[in-house]
Amino acid sequence: MDLEFTPEEAEFRQRARDWLAAHVPPRPLPSLETAEGFTAHRAWERELAADRWSVVSWPEEYGGQGADIVKWLVFEEEYYAAGAPGRVSQNGINLLAPTLFDFGTEEQRARVLPAMATGEVIWAQAWSEPESGSDLASLRSTARRTDGGWLLSGQKTWSSRAAFADRAFGLFRSGPGEPHGTAADRPAKPHHGLTYLMFPLDADGVTVRPVGRLDGKPAFAELFLDDVFVPDEDVIGEPGQGWRIAMSTTGNERGLTLRSPGRFLAAADRLVRQWRARTDTADTALRDRVADAVIGARAYELFTWANASRFTAGGTIGAESSLNKVFWSEYDIALHETALDLLGPDGELLDGSPADGPDWTEGYVFSLAGPIYAGTNEIQRDIIAERLLGLPKGRR
Amino acid sequence: MDLEFTPEEAEFRQRARDWLAAHVPPRPLPSLETAEGFTAHRAWERELAADRWSVVSWPEEYGGQGADIVKWLVFEEEYYAAGAPGRVSQNGINLLAPTLFDFGTEEQRARVLPAMATGEVIWAQAWSEPESGSDLASLRSTARRTDGGWLLSGQKTWSSRAAFADRAFGLFRSGPGEPHGTAADRPAKPHHGLTYLMFPLDADGVTVRPVGRLDGKPAFAELFLDDVFVPDEDVIGEPGQGWRIAMSTTGNERGLTLRSPGRFLAAADRLVRQWRARTDTADTALRDRVADAVIGARAYELFTWANASRFTAGGTIGAESSLNKVFWSEYDIALHETALDLLGPDGELLDGSPADGPDWTEGYVFSLAGPIYAGTNEIQRDIIAERLLGLPKGRR
Amino acid sequence: MRFLLDDEQREFARSLDAMLTAADTVAAARAWGAGEHGPGRAVWARLADAGVFALPVPEEYEGVGPLSVETAVAFVELGRHAVPGPVVETVAAAVLLAQLAEAGEREPAKRFLPSLASGAASATLTLPQSGPLALDADAADLVLTAVDGELRLAPGHARVRRSLDPARRLAAPLPGGELLASGPAVTAAARHATAWAALATAAQSLGVGLALLDRTVAYAKQRAQFGAPIGTFQAVKHRLADVLVRLEFTRPLVFGAATTLAPGDVAAAKVSAGESAYGAARAALQLHGAIGYTAEFDLSLWLTKARALRGAWGDPGVWRERVLAARE
Amino acid sequence: MRFLLDDEQREFARSLDAMLTAADTVAAARAWGAGEHGPGRAVWARLADAGVFALPVPEEYEGVGPLSVETAVAFVELGRHAVPGPVVETVAAAVLLAQLAEAGEREPAKRFLPSLASGAASATLTLPQSGPLALDADAADLVLTAVDGELRLAPGHARVRRSLDPARRLAAPLPGGELLASGPAVTAAARHATAWAALATAAQSLGVGLALLDRTVAYAKQRAQFGAPIGTFQAVKHRLADVLVRLEFTRPLVFGAATTLAPGDVAAAKVSAGESAYGAARAALQLHGAIGYTAEFDLSLWLTKARALRGAWGDPGVWRERVLAARE
């Protein structure tokens, strides 16, 4: 049992640190949930990609460095410690790319991944629909067979990044048995007959309606699809097998790659600095919450190192990813609540944070989505209780 | 809307205060969950009763002063502020007496109440059974008809005070349809056919097995009943109507009379004093929790005054008593956890508290039972959600 | 001892509720956040007609007060309906001026109180116990500062800054301006005004919490997931039950503070209302899921307001300290 | 970077678990609380055979260590099985003596360490960072004090006091006694011993939490109320899920602290283990209901121990302060 890095890992860390020190913008970019900020963040992705830092864990042929999971985590630590910008490409990199690596064709990977790595194509996800929140099996949007491809129709919602992104990916019902919201008329196996497709957001028949989140920023969009043509080459895996494919992706979403410890370590460090800088140092009332932020970041880091070690040793992660999801999402909110309380009267301002890092209020708003998306924490707790603790299923 | 007392109420308060100042023992009595302490507390009940302070809200004919609810609350405030002993008679006074006032006969009241008021007869409650915790309708102990009375058989458990008490009251199945634990063979209406009876704990056929709570003190007992004869005069209300009668009592148990605000006000005051007396006054980390203890005590006091005013104006309290139960039971634990943390290393000792009031550790152990008894807080939350918020029943 | 609202007070609440329900306060709040004060001013005019702004003002200055319980009754309704604008600050300014008058400084009261009481003018202010920013300094008719023992009419305000609550816009009053009064009476009056500001904020928070709970309960009854209304899930039920417990134990603290105006009671009400309304917001967002996270869904007005009011006029940590200070 | 127990460490845990399962540790704990140390000493003898007490002791003094990770592995099992006695204190005493030896003060180590390593002797102690009471001062073979820069063999102990945890009996060592060493080396060694005590207590707490969770999950599967196992109720499921989340994020903190022995890591492990095991105890009691509240039901051994260990060697507040102090 050790927490030591090999000389090669240490060298990799130093290389990352040096590059970031030389390239990270001196002041935060505008919010990536604005048109201006989106453009600035896309340029940053290009800059990262130019020196192969945008997708370090990918094979070199697609723009990466073939880094293993330990190096990837080291990179993330350095990335956030350096105060580098948020990643506008993260939906593509974290959700679509793993699917392509596992289920895509060689041709699809060669076509999609390099442009994703450079930020030339930014991807949005298109899972949810108005009547199906966490109940993904109840999707209604359809893919109808046509010559050489499919016609997509229906409505998608909570599509992150779609306000400004280029392309999207999601599930569409291509088989029999369209489901409805109530128990009585749901098909017995509603997750059958779904197909995983990629489509351009500027195609004929696509209407994108940006939707503002709590602070008004258009962090996602509604997509209205009216006979949108998608060629066969943009189907991932077999038609009708989309559920299985997507589950592997959403497992990923909850698992290791969604929130890297580096982000929380950097935030906790900053919190300690700001707590120490308070004028009224005799008042230790917030001390325990700041300490809990430090403890939680370290716990998450070590939990992640344990998982990484398990992966490296050939293990897998299953329902345990639900532990991860519940932990980081609640931790993230508590951390930001503490930061806002430290700001005092400025804590309610949309631009009230010290300039030494991202805006706490924007981070707070972002954190509030954590317990909701990628399977609500209520569902995660059901999974933990049933699959990890073995409690009986059935009633809720 | 006012919080002023009438001159008469103020005079009553002064009279109570004076009496208590003259009579409250200078040092805490031994724990009432011990044989020695039980005797001492019984003597204290007699002393209270001698000057009509043991049951101030009862009619004078039974030993009370006919105090209305406002005066009763005033008395309780003074009682706890004076550091007076816990009430060993409380099961009888709070649970049995209201039932007798509502459902008992004149003869029963005359026979039972005066001896209860003086502490000559101390009552234990005998509700629960091994297989029925919060699911009271699943009781199995039986009352069989016999000449001039009933024969009780079965087992009761969690019988508070029964280790040392004189008599007990509870529900027994006298009608058809004995229930079992599983859904399949439960009678359709398991709460039918129950009868409310009083019986002596030293009767033939009664075996009392004291049961220690977490700190080892025999705070309750198991009762084994083997054809225990009870005369008809000790049935309360109609045979078979016990459920309805008991529900009125358990409603009471959760409602106003179970925990008087005076107890929490006195405890919060003491907590503030001890917090101020800490050597390390610069450390304010516990300050917020001490403040919350003060806020909670005031909230509970004012909530109770509002209810008292509603009663006085002819109103009633129904499912709202579940709000009360959840609040005070969780408040009580938080208050004691704060007190133990203030004690530092002494917080784990069974005799580690300053002598200016009851032992905090014993109070902590007592508080832990709060969310469990008189209907678990889980059940209370179901009641709140369904009856007060109108959320749909059915699944849990 | 009659710790209950009387019939008249209940009727006042009901009539305000009915009036505000008809007034499209949601549209007014959204416009206010966009810097269009017209619809909000129309709501204020109705509140003025209902006598809300006369409540803290003594009869001598054309008010009907000071009536702190009725003020709390009104502010619960203002919170429930997400009414925008410097409502708390206008009350605090009125109390400040009235208190100064009582201490002998009558000129400012004569000059400003009648128009505040009638609703003809709104006010905002900064006090030693508030932050450096004044709510809606760009919209209020009167911008006061009462720091360092000097009451001044601010000559303007710095750049308007946006709050997490879109209907709250804050700006620092510019220093200087006409000196209206000075000395220890100003400091004492500011302290009294702070108590009223905290009380009004607490009442408003309670109303916000109640609105969040109502809307979430209604949503949980109709929103289906996994083939059943989510309100049948025990996790949902229990979370909402806990919200109700906290709000129902905040209510007596708010009206207790309104009845006694004792420093400890005001502080307790501010802490409990801030925390319980924020707890209601957290639950409301979680149980609504993604729809609740959008600005266009009306729930967002209350969600963000609950957070902002928790910190307005001092966050719970500040007021917990005062709970204990009041016992010294 | 391999943050995983290796096969040998896992096998060590498994064999301890099997041995303790067979040893009737519950009966030993109950007897210990009644002042009968025989059964507990028998358990200790088995632990000694398994090499547990040699883990913190250097080879020079007939130990196999110091092996902090293996010590943590062992203490998780000690917690899971509610083993009574001054286990933490014996480890801390061994570390103190070994550390003193390293600083040149070798006599006390030569005199006492071999018997501690073999399990022939047990120890208890007070340090500047502990409270004034020593656990099981009436049962330990060696009672040390290392306050004010002086290491002494206590000449006895004051009255034995009972803890909420019936298996914990505490007493203040009497002042004076044979002086074994003095000076800054004692102070430094005491600090190092405190870190090991905190680590061992954290590991033990984690084990206590895991045992509470296991027992409660098993109970929830079989206990029926309202016609169904209570483990089908979502409120029960979610509460247990939260307990698991907290314990599974405590585990890496405990083994991280064992790996680095860094002050910040030790402090974090102590806080997290104390709080999460206590949270497990609160959930376990609530979900068991009245049966869990009785001393005769075995669960009570872990319930009370979780609370006592949360405060032992400093409560979470004390250690939160040290988490931040370690970053200065």
Alpha-carbon distance D226 to nearest alpha carbon in chain B (angstroms): 6
Contact A392 D221 (CB under 8 A): yes
Contact D238 C233 (CB under 8 A): no
Q: Distance between CA A141 and CA A310 in Å, rounded?
A: 39
Q: Which chains touch A (3 or more CB pairs under 8 A)?
A: B, C, D
Phi and psi angles of residue D184, each rounded to the nearest 5 degrees, phi first: -60, -25
Alpha-carbon distance A59 to nearest alpha carbon in chain D (angstroms): 22
At D134, which amino acid appears?
A
pLDDT at C270: 98
* Helix (H) / strand (E) containing C15: helix C7-22
D222 touches chain C (CB under 8 A): no
pLDDT tens per residue, range C162-172: 999 999 999 99
pLDDT at B139: 85
Higher pLDDT, D104 or A249: D104
Q: Distance between CA B178 and CA B132 in Å, rounded?
A: 13
Q: Distance between CA D255 and CA A298 in Å, rounded?
A: 12
Contact B372 D290 (CB under 8 A): yes
B320 in active site: no
D228 touches chain C (CB under 8 A): no
CA angle D62, D68, D72 (to 5 degrees): 115
pLDDT tens per residue, range B59-86: 999 999 999 989 999 999 999 999 999 9
Judged by DSSP in three states, D294 sits in strand
Chain B residues with CB under 8 Å of D128 CB are: none
Contact B299 C253 (CB under 8 A): yes
pLDDT at A135: 64
CB B32 within 8 A of CB B86: yes
Contact C268 B299 (CB under 8 A): yes
Chain B residues with CB under 8 Å of A341 CB are: none
- The answer for D261, left when phi > 0, alpha when psi is -120 to 50, beta otherwise, is left
pLDDT tens per residue, range D286-328: 999 989 999 999 999 999 999 999 999 999 999 999 999 999 7
Q: Which chains touch B (3 or more CB pairs under 8 A)?
A: A, C, D
Report if pTM > 0.80. yes
Quick check: B247 pLDDT over 70?
A: yes
CB atoms closer than 10 angstroms to residue D159 = 8
CB B178 within 8 A of CB B213: no
pLDDT tens per residue, range C120-145: 999 999 999 888 999 999 999 999 99
From the list A213, A340, A348, which residue is nearest C295 (CB)?
A213
Q: Which of B253, B301, B320, B362 is catalytic?
A: B253
Nearest chain D residue (CA) to A270: D327
- Provide the mean pLDDT of chain C: 96
Nearest chain C residue (CA) to B8: C1
pLDDT tens per residue, range D11-21: 999 999 999 99
Q: Which of A77, A78, A222, A253 is catalytic?
A: A253
Q: Distance between CA A196 and CA A200 in Å, rounded?
A: 14
Chain B residues with CB under 8 Å of A284 CB are: 282-285
Tokens of B178: 């004995």
Q: Give the count of Cβ contacts less than 8 A between chain B and C.
A: 150
Query: Mean of the pLDDT values across residues B337-357?
Result: 89
Contact B214 D132 (CB under 8 A): no
Contact A381 D241 (CB under 8 A): yes
Chain D residues with CB under 8 Å of A396 CB are: 234
Chain C residues with CB under 8 Å of D235 CB are: 234-235, 238
Tokens of C25: 């306060």
From the list A288, A395, A396, which residue is nearest B285 (CB)?
A288
Contact D248 A323 (CB under 8 A): yes
Q: Distance between CA C295 and CA C285 in Å, rounded?
A: 12
The region of weakest confidence among A177-186, B381-390, D79-88 is A177-186
B280 touches chain A (CB under 8 A): no
Peptide bond into C66 cis (omega under 30): yes
Chain A residues with CB under 8 Å of C170 CB are: 348-349
Contact B128 D290 (CB under 8 A): yes
At C117, which amino acid appears?
A
pLDDT tens per residue, range D121-132: 999 999 998 889
Residue for token digits 């050597």?
A: B279
From the list A128, A348, A381, which residue is nearest C164 (CB)?
A348
Measured CA distances, A133 to A249, A304, B91 (Å): 17, 28, 50
Q: Distance between CA C21 and CA C9 in Å, rounded?
A: 18
Provide the ipTM. 0.95
pLDDT at B279: 58
Chain A residues with CB under 8 Å of D5 CB are: 1
In sign, the C-alpha dihedral spanning B259, B260, B265, B267 is: negative
Contact A128 C290 (CB under 8 A): yes
Quick check: B285 pLDDT over 90?
A: no
Tell me which of A348, A366, A367, A393 to substitute to probe the interface with C (most C C-beta atoms closer than 10 Å).
A348
pLDDT at B254: 38
Nearest chain C residue (CA) to D237: C235
pLDDT at A83: 92
Chain C residues with CB under 8 Å of A341 CB are: 311, 315, 317
What is chain C's percent helix, strand, coil content, to nearest 5? 65, 10, 25
A280 touches chain B (CB under 8 A): no
Contact C235 D233 (CB under 8 A): no
Nearest chain C residue (CA) to D232: C234
Nearest chain D residue (CA) to A74: D1
Alpha-carbon distance C233 to nearest alpha carbon in chain D (angstroms): 7
Alpha-carbon distance B359 to nearest alpha carbon in chain C (angstroms): 23
CB C267 within 8 A of CB C202: no
Nearest chain D residue (CA) to B373: D290
From the list B186, B216, B341, which residue is nearest D315 (CB)?
B341
From the list A284, A395, A396, which residue is nearest B284 (CB)?
A284
Tell me which of D30, D130, D159, D162 to substitute to probe the interface with B (most B C-beta atoms closer than 10 Å).
D162
Taking alpha carbons only, the member of B211, B77, B21, B239 closest to residue B142 is B239
- Provide the chain B residues 283-302 that lie in CB contact (below 8 A) with chain A: 283-285, 287-288
Contact C161 A349 (CB under 8 A): yes
CB A145 within 8 A of CB A174: yes
- Residue by residue, pLDDT tens for chain A (396 residues) are 899 999 999 999 999 999 999 999 998 899 999 999 999 999 999 999 999 999 999 999 999 999 998 999 999 999 999 999 999 999 999 889 999 999 999 999 999 999 999 999 999 999 888 877 656 667 889 999 999 999 999 999 989 899 999 999 999 999 764 444 444 444 556 677 899 999 999 999 999 999 999 999 998 899 999 999 999 999 999 999 998 888 775 444 334 555 789 999 999 999 999 998 875 655 666 889 999 999 999 999 999 999 989 888 888 777 888 999 999 999 999 999 999 999 988 999 998 888 788 889 999 999 999 999 888 999 999 999 999 999 998 654
Q: Within its chain, how far is the Cα of B35 from the centroid?
A: 20
Chain A residues with CB under 8 Å of B283 CB are: 284
Nearest chain D residue (CA) to A300: D249
Tell me which of D234, D239, D240 to substitute to probe the interface with C (most C C-beta atoms closer than 10 Å).
D234
D297 touches chain C (CB under 8 A): no
Contact A349 C170 (CB under 8 A): yes
Confidence band (pLDDT; 50, 70, 90) for B278? confident
Q: Give the count of Cβ contacts less than 8 A between chain A and D.
A: 150
Contact D164 B135 (CB under 8 A): no
CA angle B325, B330, B334 (to 5 degrees): 150
